A and B are shown apart, each in its own frame.
Chain A
């Protein structure tokens, strides 16, 4: 790899003598966690690397990791725009307003913000249909629980997380009418210690299958120690819990990063609100454990197929929220815009969304 970039460099220098070498297309990334988190930021960075490999020297990428959501983010994004990046991906919900602000100041640069809803002429958004993975997870959890209590470690009560809790619970209930869900918020995307504490608190209260919407593998390690089941998120976390691990819902951002970068390079880019899931190969079930009962495995595969083929959408009415209001009428499937505004728990979740 080093040798190759050296050769590219030499080639560029040689080119300088005769004509101006073409500047590589520059793409910047902003990550909320460390790239070594083995979760959210790790997967974005894997997508970045694959994208860079795909363009084979024609695209140059930089990234900034561990950027707090807020004033710091605005500074980092501005810096990336100033230093000549043509396209900038900002990869956390809290970067939405900073990204929009900077996008207005740098109209020639293209911005893409993950998980947000604000767009501009030069700013699009993209998100994963994580609820698809959660729905399959919920089916597995509902079948595997013996105490009829599944647990969910939440990060922040934003629509994406709430929607996934709903998907999980609806799925679990569809295979196990008696199932209950216990939800614990840790107010962090990434704090292995706190995630461990949350996992233990859930297990102390009878939870025997655990899901998480936080990024470290700590809850899986805790589950392995106590001999219960857990489902990994964002990246393949099977190595942390060989027995406990059911499967991981793995993110894959590379297809989108390649597609978008191509569009901006070709001048065909239009800001859109892109949602990628099983069908787009941006979500997959990684490392399904061999130690699952056969019928559970079959049900997992069946549910995956149904969503992947487009036959089934988890948010199809009638759906009632836990206060008794009909939130999705019969026959209606929530549109992406509506999905982005989910702020209610479905019927049967004995808890309230924190405000």
Chain B
């Protein structure tokens, strides 16, 4: 393998990892507040279709991104209302949200299937992109990829170094204690859920406006589920999520590149991987003693009722 091919592979790794990174960053914030939202795939698809339609109608990509994020957040509000106010089961509600989003996105997007648009173009950052190897890998992407770097950095800072991050953790670890010291638990959870929704919408917009600039039904093909698995693999740490997203990106790129070089890999084995990951996540989430070891927020998945004591 020559250096050019390695550079290309790592460049592609970043692109492939980016949608996973967006969703996983949103989900980790949501989960840190103690809420498990399995509706990622549905919110992502809605974000993708709305972003694409807005871009077609207005020609303004910035507006399209905003619409995608707003759509994702609006979808997550439905989820928030059901689980926070009505105390609905989070897992079931999240799954319903995914099914709902998949169907609704196909319905509203049926008129724009087959249309094309330019999408985001690469922005070559001067000076930085001239650094050998690294420059090409990191600084010749489009705006959304840079945005993902920035969001990851900001979130890592906020979650670990600020009072806001502390509040979020307190709500996720022990909502009753947080409530007792005057933190508005439900409000924090609402905001976290909406942030997760907006990020899923953004991930969808990345798919339909940058990665594969088009809209076709179910075009996210399960990336929302992989991102959920990523959060667990990263043990709810933002730095690890970035690593995990790119690791997954690298694995899927390498699988393709190696085949092109004449290696034969069992397709069945590789097709299983995301599902195995998802199963592992489900097992881990449902086994309590594992949770603490993996630093999962202690109240993850449990509804909060301020009238009850812990």
Interface of A toward B, CB cutoff 8 Å: 33-38, 66, 151, 156-157, 182-188, 190-198, 200-202, 204-205, 207, 216-218, 221-222, 239-240, 350-355
Query: B213 at interface (Cβ–Cβ under 8 A)?
Result: yes
Query: Does the CB pair A192–B253 fall under 8 Å?
Result: no
Give chain A residues whose Cβ lies under 8 Å from the Cβ of B113: 36, 38
Query: Does the CB pair A192–B214 fall under 8 Å?
Result: yes
Query: Does the CB pair A197–B267 fall under 8 Å?
Result: no
Query: Does the CB pair A204–B214 fall under 8 Å?
Result: no
Give chain A residues whose Cβ lies under 8 Å from the Cβ of B256: 184, 186, 194, 197-198, 201-202
Query: Does the CB pair A192–B262 fall under 8 Å?
Result: no
Give chain B residues whose Cβ lies under 8 Å from the Cβ of A186: 256
Query: Does the CB pair B214–A194 fall under 8 Å?
Result: no
Within 8 A of A (CB), among B9-67: 9, 12, 16, 19
Query: Does the CB pair A196–B212 fall under 8 Å?
Result: yes
Bound CA span A185–B265, Å: 9
Query: Does the CB pair B264–A240 fall under 8 Å?
Result: no
Give chain B residues whose Cβ lies under 8 Å from the Cβ of A187: 267-268, 270-271
Bound CA span A353–B5, Å: 24
Query: B242 at interface (Cβ–Cβ under 8 A)?
Result: no
Which of A33, A184, A195 meets B260, CB within 8 Å? A184
Q: Closest chain B residue to A218 by CB distance?
A: B212
Query: Does the CB pair A36–B116 fall under 8 Å?
Result: no
Within 8 A of A (CB), among B187-219: 207, 211-214, 216-219
Query: Does the CB pair A193–B270 fall under 8 Å?
Result: no
Tell me, rounded to whole Å, the shortest Cβ–Cβ distance linking A160 to chain B: 15
Tell me, rounded to whole Å, the shortest Cβ–Cβ distance linking B181 to chain A: 44
Most chain B CB inside 10 Å of its own CB: which residue of A36, A66, A198? A36
Query: Does the CB pair A239–B216 fall under 8 Å?
Result: no
Which of B253, B260, B268 meets A205, CB within 8 Å? B260
Interface of B toward A, CB cutoff 8 Å: 5, 8-9, 12, 16, 19, 106, 109-110, 113-114, 116, 207, 211-214, 216-221, 223, 252-253, 256-257, 259-262, 264-268, 270-271
Tell me, rounded to whole Å, the shortest Cβ–Cβ distance linking B277 to chain A: 15
Query: Does the CB pair A197–B260 fall under 8 Å?
Result: no
Q: Closest chain B residue to A151 by CB distance?
A: B260
Query: Does the CB pair A156–B212 fall under 8 Å?
Result: no
Bound CA span A196–B214, Å: 12
Give chain B residues whose Cβ lies under 8 Å from the Cβ of A217: 214, 216
Q: Closest chain B residue to A222 by CB distance?
A: B212
Bound CA span A76–B9, Å: 41
Q: Closest chain A residue to B208 by CB distance?
A: A192
Query: Does the CB pair A192–B12 fall under 8 Å?
Result: no
Bound CA span A200–B207, Å: 16
Query: Does the CB pair B12–A197 fall under 8 Å?
Result: yes
Which of A193, A202, A221, A351 meets B221, CB within 8 Å? A193
- Given A350-B262, A355-B264, 8 new contacts (CB under 8 A): A35-B217, A36-B110, A38-B114, A66-B217, A182-B260, A198-B256, A200-B8, A240-B214
Which of A34, A184, A191, A201 meets B106, CB within 8 Å? A34
Say whether, besides A156-B267, A351-B262, A221 and B214 are in contact (CB < 8 Å).
yes
Bound CA span A192–B213, Å: 10
Tell me, rounded to whole Å, the shortest Cβ–Cβ distance linking B22 to chain A: 13
Question: Closest 4 CB pairs between A and B?
Answer: A34-B217, A201-B256, A204-B8, A191-B221
Tell me, rounded to whole Å, the shortest Cβ–Cβ distance linking B264 to chain A: 5
Which of A151, A182, A350, A354 meets B267, CB within 8 Å? A354
Say whether, besides A38-B114, A151-B260, A352-B264, A216 and B216 are in contact (CB < 8 Å).
yes
Say whether, besides A193-B16, A201-B12, A218-B214, A351 and B264 are in contact (CB < 8 Å).
yes
Bound CA span A229–B160, Å: 49
Say whether, besides A37-B217, A197-B252, A350-B262, A192 and B267 are in contact (CB < 8 Å).
no
Query: Does the CB pair A204–B211 fall under 8 Å?
Result: no
Query: Does the CB pair B259–A183 fall under 8 Å?
Result: yes
Query: Does the CB pair B260–A202 fall under 8 Å?
Result: yes
Query: Does the CB pair B257–A192 fall under 8 Å?
Result: no
Tell me, rounded to whole Å, the shortest Cβ–Cβ distance linking B144 to chain A: 14
Query: Does the CB pair A188–B271 fall under 8 Å?
Result: yes
Most chain B CB inside 10 Å of its own CB: which residue of A156, A207, A354? A354
Q: Closest chain A residue to B252 by CB distance?
A: A197
Query: Does the CB pair A157–B221 fall under 8 Å?
Result: no
Say whether, besides A193-B219, A194-B252, A240-B116, A204 and B207 are in contact (CB < 8 Å).
no
Query: Does the CB pair B266–A204 fall under 8 Å?
Result: no
Tell me, rounded to whole Å, the shortest Cβ–Cβ distance linking B45 to chain A: 11
Which of A34, A182, A197, A200 meets B216, CB within 8 Å? A34
Give chain A residues whose Cβ lies under 8 Å from the Cβ of B217: 33-37, 66
